[in-house]
Amino acid sequence: MGFDLDKWIAQKMQGEVILKYVGDVSSDKITDALDSIESYLNLKNEKNKTRKKVYNVFVECIQNLFHHVDIPPVTAKVDLVPKFGVIILARDNSFYRISTGNFVLIDKISIIKDRIDQVNSLSDEEVRSIYRDILGNEEITLKGGGGLGMLDIVRKTGNKLEYMLYPHDNEYLFFSLDVYIS
């Protein structure tokens, strides 16, 4: 019963896996992950433009987990750490893919779903214009971003956010997000 995390991770391991992290998304772990992907991108002599884009989008994805994930459900059979999340960066032919996964309370899912559906419905111009509006007009939230993270990812990648919701138990779903950088 419950969501099969191992199977999901296996599905996301296609291509050349640059980084796989499963566990507590703490500030220190983020620093380690960023060091690791930066070394990879430098080693591969990746174009400056691509290197920066991958790094920047990865920062937003992993910090999005940091700000929004919680302790996982006891039924998930994973470590009960304060901020449980999964992040995988892989290179597949001509694109990079960042996959993130985390357990979400069913009560909270409509907010996340509506937010992503709204961002995905926007044209490139609308993304830019709404980004500027939020940046210029809204107050800083405690988490700092004011809801700019998802918009920033779509703006930088030029691609839609691909997400899936998997049932887990009566209280939780597993939220899976794929971001592609061409």
Partner 1 sequence: METIIREGSPKTPYVRLDGEKGLIEIKGRSIPENSVEFYKPLIDWLDSYGNQPLDSTSVNVQLEYFNTSSSKCILDIFKKLELIYKKGSKVHINWYYEEDDEDMFEAGEDYQSIINIPFTMIEMEE
Residues that bind partner 1 (CB under 8 A): 27, 30-31, 34-35, 47-49, 52-53, 55-56, 59-60, 63, 66-67, 128, 131-132, 135-136, 140, 142-146, 148-149, 152, 156
Residue 5 or 154 having the CB closest to partner 1: 154
Nearest CA to 61 out of 109, 21, 111 is that of 21
Distance of closest approach, residue 37 Cβ to partner 1, in angstroms: 12
Nearest distance, CB of residue 81 and partner 1, angstroms: 16
> Closest CB to partner 1 among 33 and 173?
33
Minimum Å gap between C-beta 50 and partner 1 is 10
Residue 171 CB, shortest distance to partner 1, in Å, is 27
Closest CB to partner 1 among residues 45, 136: 136
Reported as type and span, the H/E element at residue 160 is: none
Contacts 24+ apart (CB under 8 A), 112-119: 112/175, 113/163, 113/165, 115/147, 115/150, 116/150, 116/161, 116/163, 116/177, 119/150, 119/151, 119/154, 119/161
Q: Which is nearer to partner 1, 77 or 128 (CB)?
A: 128
- As a whole number of angstroms, the longest Cα–Cα distance in the chain is 47
Write b or e for each residue in 29-45: b if 16 or more Cβ atoms lie within 10 A of its Cβ, otherwise e: bbeebbeebeebbeeee
Residue 38 or 162 with smaller CB distance to partner 1: 38
- CA pair distance 11, 172, nearest whole angstrom: 21
User: Min. distance of Cβ 120 from partner 1 in angstroms?
Assistant: 18
Nearer to partner 1, 15 or 23 (CB): 23
Shortest separation between residue 47's beta carbon and partner 1, angstroms? 8
Q: Is residue 110 helix, strand or coil?
A: helix
Rounded to 5 degrees, what angle do the CA atoms 68, 71, 72 make?
A: 105
